[in-house]
Structure 1
Amino acid sequence: MAASKRTPVTPVKRTTTRTVKTATQAKRRPAKNKKKVLTPVSILKYSVYMLLLCFAVTGLYRFRHGFMAYLGFNKINNKPVTVFTKEERKIADLRIYEIVSRHKDRIFGFDVSHYQGEINWDSIERSKGDFPLDFVFIRATAGNNGADSQFKRNWKNAKRTGFIRGAYHYYRPDENSVKQADNFITHVALRKGDLPPVLDIEKIPNGQSMDSLKSGLKRWLDKVEEHYGVKPIIYSGESFYTDFLKTEFKGYKLWIANYSFFNDDIRKEWDFWQFTDKAAILGIEGKVDANIYNGSKKDLKGCCIQ
């Protein structure tokens, strides 16, 4: 009997399924996280970000009252706060609100010259604005023979509308000090209830030394004090006063200009603080200098000519 032919059987590879399964698992397995290496550049970048964040947080906290008042969530002197101007909101406005909020127990005022043009004194809201206004300094003269074109009008109307008023002289360093004093005396007649005369000195001389300037300032102060019987007030920028006047002119009341974003409190040694040149007052066109007196209204009246 002949033997039958058998079909050869191909052996099955059992590793196929395991191989596929292993490959699928390999696809699903998350790749290992690579460790980030901090480079000097990345460290500097993160440091800058953190510094900016600190500045932002510090600024928000420092001017928190200003932000709240500006957004209408706060009141100053029990009155709703209004926007000073119709322009876009500016950081300068926030600083003004912040300073006003911090000095509710102080007295506010402003100062003007011919640069403000004709002021509508009857429109100035002394007690209905963003802060009450009780005093005003008015420029009277400048140099040897300069006279402010609006002084007489402003001087008269300030008194009529109930402001405590004061007159100041803009000192020109390279002009004769005695003639400058005579110029002020000729144009300004101070009365009982007026603030003492003010010497405004802001610039260094071009044609003389600083010692010569100081001697001239002393001559002006002495002559004016002798005439009015009251010690004048010195006005200057903080840096100018600190660098050139502080040592030689002790004993005078100070009116200091400082608009620094980082300065929001009146200092103990300042009698008056001109804290901004960007205030807006109804009745006055354009920006106005705003000031704080470092005391009560009773103190301010006590400072006046008796």
Structure 2
Amino acid sequence: MKKTQRSKATYTRNSKKKNSSFSLFIKRMLLLLFLACFFTALYHYRDGLAYYFSFTAGTKVETEAKRISDVRNIQVIENHKGKALGIDVSEFQEKIKWNLVKTVEEEYPIQYVFIRATAGYDRLDRQFKRNWIAAKEQKLIRGAYHYYRPNENSIQQADFFIKNVHLEKGDLPPVLDIEKLPKTQSIDSLKVGLHRWLNRVEAHYKVRPIIYSGESYYDDFLKEEFSEYLFWIANYNFYREKIHPNWLFWQFTEKAAVNGIVRTVDVNIYNGDLQQLQFITVD
């Protein structure tokens, strides 16, 4: 019996050593994998990094580090050369100096702008009227969007949007922005309300609205039920580098710099060029 006990103890010690060695091996492999991914990412985003950090004869030209998100912005825009680039704004961008709004990151031309008009059944964006007029004066293709509140009456929300937004020839179709889940109703009831808003607005403007949402929300609640609509999707994740073929617009960042705007701005890519964008505007 004692021999057997010693044998088991020896076996246990050897097993622990083997497990410890295996665990160390796994940790080393994970570290190597992390380093490989890190350096691969650096190489992949080298163009964006070079844009922000340049050296001449060993002298640093840029005086401050830029956010990694900015590097991604440049990379994404470069990946979509030829596609129409635009921004979206609301009162959160405060008073915009529209005469200065020309480019994203001082290089890439802005060709259109979505402007928040209303929220819920009674909330007019404080800067909407000013932004709406100014965008037209700057010859930007403009569009208006409504922030939908799931727990409020959908028809009242649609009528409030219609009351405040007067589309003209050359404007983009109206947009329904849905991001929140309801607190006082089911998902099925939410979908009924969304359909009512969309139908009401389409009947008034004689053009089918666009739906804006985040990618997860779109996949979980909208993709199947609203397949006849075109979508403007928000996804800021690093892994997403190209617009999905089924998306009309892709909002790929909320942290871009634009002259004339104090705060950072959302930037969007249209799944086509400027001429194709003009084709979907209101007649």
TM range (shorter): 0.7 to 0.9
Q: In structure 1, list runs of 5 or more residues that go unmatched.
A: 1-36, 74-81
TM-score (norm 1): 0.81
CA contact 1:65–1:101 (8 Å) conserved in 2:
no
- Give the CA deviation at 1:224: 0.2
> CA offsets, 1:164-215, max 9 Å, x none?
0000000000000000000000000000000000000000000000000000
In structure 2, the partner of 1:129 is: 106
- Give the CA deviation at 1:46: 1.6
Is structure 2 residue 55 aligned with structure 1 residue 48?
A: no
User: Hey, what's the Cα distance between the residues in 2 that align with 1:296 and 1:194?
Assistant: 16
Deviates more, 1:98-107 or 1:46-55: 46-55
Is structure 2 residue 150 aligned with structure 1 residue 173?
A: yes
**1:209 to 1:190, Cα distance in 2 relative to 1, 3 A:** same
List aligned pairs for 1:183-262, cutoff 5 A. Answer: 183-262=160-239
Between the aligned residues of both structures, percent identity stands at 51
- Give the CA deviation at 1:294: 0.8
CA contact 2:154–2:197 (8 Å) conserved in 1:
yes
List aligned pairs for 1:94-109, cutoff 5 A. Answer: 94-109=71-86
CA contact 2:103–2:258 (8 Å) conserved in 1:
no
- Give the CA deviation at 1:242: 0.5
- Give the CA deviation at 1:128: 9.0
User: Hey, what's the Cα distance between the residues in 1 that align with 2:67 and 2:90?
Assistant: 25
- Structure of greater relative contact order (alpha carbons < 8 Å, 6+ residues apart): 2
User: Hey, what's the Cα distance between the residues in 1 that align with 2:24 and 2:275?
Assistant: 60
User: Hey, what's the Cα distance between the residues in 2 that align with 1:72 and 1:255?
Assistant: 35
In structure 1, the partner of 2:39 is: 57
In structure 2, the partner of 1:6 is: none
- Give the CA deviation at 1:58: 2.5
Q: Which amino acid aligns with 1:47?
A: M
**1:272 to 1:62, Cα distance in 2 relative to 1, 3 A:** same
Residue 242 (structure 2) aligned to one of 260, 265, 283: 265
Is structure 2 residue 258 aligned with structure 1 residue 281?
A: yes
User: Hey, what's the Cα distance between the residues in 2 that align with 1:239 and 1:252?
Assistant: 17
Is structure 2 residue 272 aligned with structure 1 residue 295?
A: yes
Aligned pair count reads 260
Larger Rg: 1
In structure 1, the partner of 2:70 is: 93
User: Hey, what's the Cα distance between the residues in 2 that align with 1:254 and 1:42?
Assistant: 48
